Amino acid sequence: MLGALGQVVMYLVPFLLVLTVVVTIHELGHFLTGRLFGVKMDRFSIGFGPTLLSRTDKRGVEWRLAALPLGGYVRFAGDLDATGVPDRKGLDALKARIQADEGPGAERDYLYFKPVWQRALIVAAGPVANFILAILLFTILFSAVGVQLRPPRVADVAVESPAAAAGFQRGDLITQINGRAVEDGRDVIRIVSLSSGDPVRFVVERGDQQVQLVATPVREVTQDPIAGRVSIGRIGLGLASARDEIRHVRYGVVESVGQGVRQTGEVLSTTLTYLGRIFTGRENGDQLSGPIGIAKASGALTNAAVQANPDPTAMAMNLLLTLTSFAAILSIGIGFLNLLPIPVLDGGHLVFYAYEAVTRQPLPAGIQEAGFRVGLALLACFMLFATWNDLQKLNLFQFLGGLVS
């Protein structure tokens, strides 16, 4: 019983901690940009549910710590509906109410009566804050810890594999993929895993020669220690760097910022590539994860960090570094998800504001309501699909089937 409880704690606590930090930064992006433009706000909450601590500042904003650490939110004064983009009738009613309570001109302090470009910036500031957080965290990791670069040296070529058919040989050093220079074996794995069915162009260093090879990855199901059971592209190469080839690089502050931007861009690029392949039928989407999968990944990372070194100081440092890296990845994911043009998300609000900027009036209430319902349905379908993936990777259905039989 205690062992099971310990596993629950190992999986849930790091996930909730990181999620709360990342979502709080997202909401701070909205909040600080709103304050920059003089928008009146009622509440900034860390967590949901019953209030644990609360205080109201001199601007009338309630700062609140709630019982459920599942993120947080900022509530702008005068919120009318769930879409956050009221139509003309709703705006007129809100304006009349504000003027009756606070006097003429008071409506100018409310979000809905700010110029559309300011509202758009306030909405976009949430995802932007997530990307800035990721860059900052990556910068800290690159400057304080650095990175270990393992050149992609070919140690083994599987028989009758795409790599063997392409002409790879043991000892080849991969220097380019699809015209892009590579220094680390992880870059090779990342690109190949998302290229099943597509020819991949390699340049390898063989002795004093540069040899060009083309291999087409085939999709294989594999058990990843973090992600679980997933299908990825493989060409049948085993990579292993010689001891004297492995380099540990720590970057200066300026270089670390550049590396942080590059790393954030690569994560976004990989995400877009994977989603594009799903929509074109070249991936089945089994790498998409919901809360269960993300919690499992955070638990696995935490467990690995704890077991890496029994020394308490080293254990704490490994745990801190692991959660920092996890927070950066999760922050990018939340920022990207919120930019999708779905009405209930920030991206959907930006679409509404774009319409308003062009037509000089907000969308009619009926269209907003329909968009809101469609957006909720899309999000529900996405969460169901991602949760199904998570349960499949955990082999839950096979387990239940065994119980029934």
Active site amino acids: 27
Which strands make up the sheet holding 173-177, listed edge to edge? 180-181, 173-177, 200-206, 209-215
Q: Nearest-CA neighbor of 94 among 76, 80, 83, 106? A: 80
Burial of 285 (0-12, 13-18, 19+ CB in 10 A): middle
Matching residue, tokens 């009758």: 160
Distance CA 91, CA 223 (A): 54
Q: Are 127 and 135 in contact (CB under 8 A)?
A: no
State whether residue 70 is helix, strand or coil: strand
Q: Are 231 and 397 in contact (CB under 8 A)?
A: no
- CA 247 → CA 140, 148, 181, 207, distances in Å? 19, 6, 17, 21
Q: Which two tokens stand for residue 93?
A: 């009613």
Helix axes 312-339, 2-36, angle to 10 degrees: 50
Distance CA 242, CA 73 (A): 50
End-to-end, the C-alpha distance of the chain in Å comes to: 26
**Alpha-helix residue ranges (DSSP H) falling in 80-115:** 88-102
State whether residue 213 is helix, strand or coil: strand
Q: Nearest-CA neighbor of 19 among 65, 71, 64? A: 71
